[in-house]
Amino acid sequence: MEFFEVVNNLSIELNNFLMNAGMWAPLISSLLIIAEGVLAFLPLVVFVTINVLSLGPVLGGIISWIFTTLGSLLAFLLFRKGFSSFFNKKIENNRKLEKFMNSIDELKFRQLVLIIAIPFAPSFFINLGAGLSNIALKKYFYALLLGKVFVIIFLGYIGSNIIDCFTNPIILIKVIGLILLAYILAQVVNKKFDLDGRF
């Protein structure tokens, strides 16, 4: 539980800071949401909660969704442009790593949305894996747009305490329900637009 305690303490400190930031709180939290795409230790739940409390559930949720999508997309581009060439050279003689990266390349759109939609899955590692893979930019972008909706819904309207999310069965059921809904909608979207076939 040490990891969760550290994250929870960080969340409390950031929450206290942002609650005292007044009118600047939504701006600061939105900028931190972008940074969360690269910095895995930043607690997204705090920033989304601040936006929802400051701007209301609808506007705060929409802004959080836009910024978290933007942050993940920027991180994806950073990893792809800055590290993919170096990384590809490193995996040439590593069959296990090469096999793992091939499995990421072959992810279907609905599977990608499912991974992104998990509320407490660290964006950093998802963006890193996608950026170093051969997943098409447009495919990842559309998956972010859909998957992040459910992340924001959970963090903004359901998730209040990171520890509770791992100990409260009702919250866990809600998380599973949202993830399943994301998966179903991803199937519908993919069937309509054939994103797997196009990208």
Task: Give backbone dihedrals phi and psi of 106, rounded to 5 degrees, phi first.
Answer: -90, 5
pLDDT tens string 70-128: 999 999 999 999 887 777 777 777 778 888 888 899 999 999 999 999 887 888 899 99
pLDDT score recorded for residue 2 = 61
* pTM for this entry: 0.85
Does the pLDDT value for residue 160 go beyond 60? Answer: no
Query: What pLDDT is stored for residue 159 in this prediction?
Result: 55
Q: How confident is the model at residue 166 (pLDDT cuts 50, 70, 90)?
A: low
What is the reported pLDDT for 161? 54
61 pLDDT more than 90: yes
What mean pLDDT comes out for the span 158-176? 68
Number of domain units in the chain: 1
| Segment 157-179 mean pLDDT | 71
Q: Which of 40, 35, 41, 30 lies closest to 152, judged by CA? A: 30
- Whole-number percent of the chain with pLDDT over 70: 91
Q: Percent of the chain beyond pLDDT 90?
A: 40
List % helix, strand, coil for the chain (3-state, nearest 5).
80, 0, 20
DSSP secondary structure string, 18-48? HHTSGGGHHHHHHHHHHHHTT-TTS-HHHHH
Q: Which domain holds residue 148?
A: 2-198
Q: What is the pLDDT of residues 146-155, one digit of tens each?
A: 999 999 988 8
Residue 13 is predicted with a pLDDT of 83
Band (1; pLDDT cuts 50, 70, 90) = very low
Q: Calculate Rg over the CA atoms of the chain.
A: 17
